[in-house]
Amino acid sequence: MIASRGIVLLLILFLATLTGCAATLATTPLPDGFAVKIFTKVDAGEPFAVNRDGVFAAVVEGSVQIIEPAGGPGRVIAPAPATGLNFSPDGARLAALFATANQSLLRIFDLQGKLLGETLISGRVTSLAWRSDKELLATALTIKKFSFGSEFISVLHRWDTVAPPLATPLSDVTVRPFVAKLPEGELFRSLTMALSPYGDEIAYSALKDPPLYTPYLRIAVRHLETGAERTVAETGIGSGGPLYMPDGESLLTGDTRALTHQWSLAEGREMNAWPTAGNRIVLSPSGSYLLLEGSLYQGGREIATFPKESIGVFLPDGSGLALSARGFLFLVSGLQDPKPAGLSGELARTLELRRLHMLGLITDKEFKARLKKVPGREI
Amino acid sequence: MKYSSAFLAAILALLAPLTAAAFEPCIPCHLEKTPAAVAQWQGSAHAKAKVGCEKCHGTDHEKIVRGEARVDLRVCAPCHQKAFKEHSASRHGMGFHSGWGCTRNLPDRKKGECRFCHKEGDETPLSEVHCARFLKQSREMGEIGCNYCHSVEGSCDSCHSKHSTDLKIVRDPNSCAKCHMGPDHPQWEMWQTSLHGTLNASAGKSLGPDCQTCHMAKGTHNVSIGLTMNSGGVPFTPPKAEAGRAEMTKICSSCHAPAFARRELERDDAVRAQSLAILKEAEGIVWDLNDRGLLDPMPAERPPHPLSGSNLVTDSQMLYEDTSHIERLFFKMKKFDYARTVKGAYHQSPGYTHWYGNAELKMDLVDIKSEASRLRERKKGGIPAASTEEELKVLKNRFERGTLSAEQYAAEKARVLER
C-alpha cells in the first residue's frame, strides 16, 4: 500500500516536472493544418522582430540577439535590453531602441552586430517605422509634470540614420492631474504611430483632455511632406492602433468597449468591427489574418485564441505567426495568408491624389472617383 | 410796487453773472487765464441752469492741470440721458474708435490717450477694435489725422464745442463737414452740390434739407437711423436693411410722396449693387494674384500688417502704404471711388455718383486688370506654369471668398484634375 502510494506520488511529481519544463502555448483547438512549436527562449514581455528572410531579433537574457531562421543560439549584438526592435524593409538593418533617463537612444545595426548609426532622441520613443531602407520614423513623448497637471509633448522624428533627426511637433497638450496619474505604460501608449503602406503619411494617436469631458485619444493622419492633418476617429485611452490595412485605404483602431474598428480614410466612415478590444492589433501581410489580444481572426471569424498577454508578429511571407509568451517564442505555422496584392495603379498619380485629398483640395467623393481612374487601379 | 418789482428784476439780471461767479471759485482766475471759455460758459444753458465748472471738471485741480479730467461722454450722460442713449445706438457712438488701436507698443505714445479705450485703472479695453491705418501713423499724424474725428464716440464736444451750448453750432451742416468731407466720404460736398444742398443755399432750410433734416430727424442723436449699409458700403442683411429703409422712407416722406422716395432709394440700391460687383471683380483679381504668389511685393516680403501680419488684407483694415501697386490701386477704388459712387447716389449728387465715383471706379478696374496682366506676363518669363496643386489652391481660395459657386468650383476642379 505504501509502495503503491509512493508510485502515485512519484508519478504526480514526474508529471508536475513535465508541466514545468515543457513550454506550451495555451490555445483553443487550432484549425486544421495549424501547428505550434517552440522556436527559442526569450525574455518575457520584451519586444522582438522578424525580417523578410525570417531572421529574428529578440531580447534574450537582457541582451539583443540575432537568431537565424533555423533557430539555435543567438548572436549578441547589444548587451542591453531594447525597448523596441524593427527591421528595415530590406531586412539588412535593425533599429534598436534603448531607454535612458529622459532620452531614448536609437541605434542601427547590421545583422552581424556592426553599429551603423545612432542618435539620441529627447523623451521616450513610443513607435518606430522604416519609411525606406534609409529613413526611420520615430514618435517620442515627453511628459512634464506640474502642480496643475502634466504636459504631454508628442514629436515626430525623421532620421536618415546619418544626420541628426528632423523633429516635427505633433501635439502638445496639458492634462489634468488625475489623468497624469494613470499607469505610466498607459500614458506612453497614448502616442502610437503607423506608417502608411504608401509611405506618404502616418497615422498617430494623441491624448486629448478637454475640461469637463472624459479624456480620449485623437486618431489623426498626417501627410509627411505637407504637414496636412485630418482627424479620423476618437477612441478611449488604452486603445490599440492605429494600424494601416495593407492597401493603405483604411485604418484599424481599438477601443475600450471591446471592439476593434476599421475606418475608411476616403470616406471617414466605419467599414468593419471585430468584437475584441484590440489593445494590441497585429495584421498579417495580406491583411487576411488579424491578431487582437490573442484572438486570431480570419476575415470576420475568430479561428483560434492564444494567451491574451502574448505578443505576436506575423512572418513576412504570411506562412506563420510568431508569438512571445511566458518567456518563449513560439511559431504557429499553417497559416494561408495570400500574397499581398501590393499597391495597385500608377503610383505617382495615386500619391498626387492622396496629397491633394489630405490638403483638402479635393473632396472625399472626388478622391474616390479619381482613384478609380488611375491606370491599373480599381477600388 | 410795480416799479420796485421791475427794479429788483433788473438788478438781479445785472447781477446774474456775478451771482453765478460767486458760486464758482474757478471764475476769478479763469477770467484771466481762459477768458473765452468763461465767456462761453457764462452765455450757455449750463450757466443758466447753474451747472458750474466743478460739475463737469471735478474739483481736483491737479488732475485737471494734468489733462486727466477731460469732459467726455460719461460726464454728460447722467444729465443728458436721451441724447446719450441715441448717440450710443448710432454709428457715431458705436465703434468710432475703430479709427484707433492699442498704442501701448508704439514709440512716443501719448499716455493720456489710453482713456479712449480704457476706464481709469482698468487694463481691459472697452472694445477690441483696432485700426491698422491708425497703427501705421506717427503719433502726431494719428492725433490730427485720426483722433480728431474718431473721438466722436466718447466726446460730445466733437460736435457741440466745449463750453458753449448754442444749438446753432450743431444745427449747421458745417459742423458735420469737418469730418464728412474729402476723398473717402465727401458727404458734405455731395450734399452741397445736390438739389437739396443748392436749394438750402438759395431758399433756406425750409426748402432745402440739410444733414440734420434727414440724419437727425426731430433732433435725434441717432445719426444712423435709416441707413441700409455699413460705413464701408457693405449692405446690411435683409431684416436690418428693411428696417432702415422703412425709417428713411418715412423721413423722406415728410417732403416727398412715399412712392417717389422708395423709387429713388431703390435706384440708389441698384447703383450700389452694380458698383459692388465691379469692386468684387477687382478684389478677386488681387486675391488671385496673391494665391499665385504674383503680388509685388508679396505680403510676406513687406513690413507686416499691424493686425494681420504677412496676410493679404483687402477688407476694412486695408492699408494704403507698404502694399503692392495693385493693392494701392484697389485701395483707391474701394475706399474712395466706390464710396463716392454709392454715397453720391444716396445723397442725390449726379457729379459725385458718375464722374468722381462711377467713372473712376471703372477706370480703376481697367488699371487693375492691366497691372494684373503685367504681373502674369512677368511670371511667364521666369517661373514654370502652376502645378495641379497650385491651381487647386487658387480655386479653393476663390470658392472660399465666394467668387465661385459650388457648381463652378466643382467644374473648375474637374477641369484641372483632367489635365
Would you tell me the crossing angle of helices A364-372 and B406-418 to the nearest 10 degrees?
30
| Average pLDDT score, chain A | 89
CB contact under 8 A, B389 and A366: no
Looking at the predicted structure, is the pLDDT value of residue B191 above 70?
yes
CA-nearest of B228, B198, B230 to B351 is B198
The predicted structure's pLDDT at residue B232? 82
Distance of alpha carbon B190 from alpha carbon B215, whole angstroms: 15
Indicate whether A1 pLDDT > 50. Answer: no
Identify the three-state secondary structure at position B170: helix
Q: How far is CA B119 from the centre of its chain?
A: 23
A260-307 pLDDT tens trace: 999 998 887 899 999 998 888 999 999 999 999 899 999 889 999 999
Contact B396 A370 (CB under 8 A): no
Report pLDDT for A254.
92
Q: Work out the angle at residue B31's Cα, subtended by the Cα atoms of residues B26 and B33, and round it to the nearest 5 degrees.
A: 90
The pLDDT tens digits for B228-280 are 998 888 899 888 999 999 999 999 999 999 999 999 999 999 999 999 999 99
Q: A45-54, B16-25, B167-176, B226-235: which has the minimum mean pLDDT?
A: B16-25
Q: What is the DSSP string of A67-93?
A: E-TT-SS-EEEESS--SEEEE-TTSSE
* C-alpha triplet B226, B229, B231: angle, nearest 5°: 105
Give the mean model confidence (pLDDT) for residues A84-88. Answer: 97
Summarised one tens digit per residue, pLDDT across range B223-240 is: 999 999 988 888 998 889
CB pairs A-B closer than 8 Å? 21
Nearest-Cα residue of chain B relative to residue A365: B410
Residues paired with residue A135 on neighbouring β-strands, in sequence order? A132
In CATH terms, B261-383 corresponds, of 1.20.850.10, 1.10.760.10, 3.40.640.10, 3.40.50.10190, to 1.20.850.10
pLDDT, position B23: 47
d(CA B53, CA B46): 9
- What is the band of A14 on the pLDDT scale with cuts at 50, 70, 90? very low
Residue A15 has pLDDT above 70, yes or no: no
Give the chain A residue nearest B395 (alpha carbons): A361
Lowest-confidence region among A237-241, B147-151, B338-342, B379-383? B379-383
Looking at chain A, which residue has its C-alpha nearest residue B413?
A362
- The pLDDT of residue A372 is 87
Cα separation, A51 vs A90, in Å, equals 8
To the nearest whole Å, the CA of B385 is away from the closest chain A CA by 17
Q: Phi/psi of residue A99, each to 5°?
A: -90, 135
Calculate the alpha carbon distances from B109 to A4, B3, B101, B147, B153 in Å.
108, 64, 12, 13, 21
Cell of A50: 522578424
| Nearest alpha carbon to residue B256 among B245, B266, B267, B248 | B248
Taking the CB of residue A226, how many other CB atoms lie within 10 A of it? 14
In chain A, which residues touch B (CB < 8 A)? 352, 355-356, 359-362, 366, 370
Residue A252: which of A280, A224, A217, A215 has the closest Cα? A280
CB contact under 8 A, B417 and A355: no
CA distance A172 to chain B (A): 24
Helical packing angle, B388-400 and B258-291, nearest 10°: 160
Residue range(s) occupied by CATH 2.130.10.10 in chain A: 136-279
Rounded mean pLDDT, B118-134: 69
Mean pLDDT (whole number) for B30-34: 90
The percentage of residues in chain B with a pLDDT greater than 70, rounded to a whole number, is 84
CATH class of A136-279: mainly beta
Could you give the CA distance from residue B225 to residue B236 in angstroms, rounded to a whole number?
Answer: 13
B389: nearest CB among A356, A366, A370: A356
Residue type, B30: H
Task: Name the amino acid, one letter, at A323.
Answer: L
* Residue B95 confidence class, pLDDT cut points 50, 70, 90: low
- Whether residues B396 and A352 touch (CB distance < 8 A) is answered with no
Task: For chain B, give every residue range classified as CATH 1.20.850.10.
Answer: 261-383
Read off the C-alpha cell for B353: 455718383
> Which has the closest alpha carbon to B248: B235, B234, B231, B261?
B261
The pLDDT of residue B107 is 58
Residues 6+ apart with CB under 8 A from B324: B295, B296, B297, B298
Grid cell digits, residue A375: 491606370
Which residue on chain B is closest to A356 by alpha carbon? B389
* The predicted structure's pLDDT at residue B78: 94
Spell out the residues 6+ positions from residue A334 whose beta carbon is closer than 8 angstroms to its own.
Answer: A30, A31, A33, A34, A35, A320
- What is the model's pTM? 0.67
Whether residue B8 is predicted with pLDDT greater than 60 in this model: the reply is no
Answer yes or no: is pLDDT of B18 > 50. no
CB atoms A359 and B389 under 8 Å: yes
Give per-residue pLDDT as tens, B307-325: 888 999 998 889 999 999 9
Average predicted confidence (pLDDT) for chain B: 87
Greater model confidence, A344 or A1: A344
CB < 8 Å to B410, chain A:
366
pLDDT in tens, B65-86: 888 888 888 899 999 999 999 9
pLDDT above 70 for A61: yes
CA angle B254-B349-B183, nearest 5°? Answer: 125
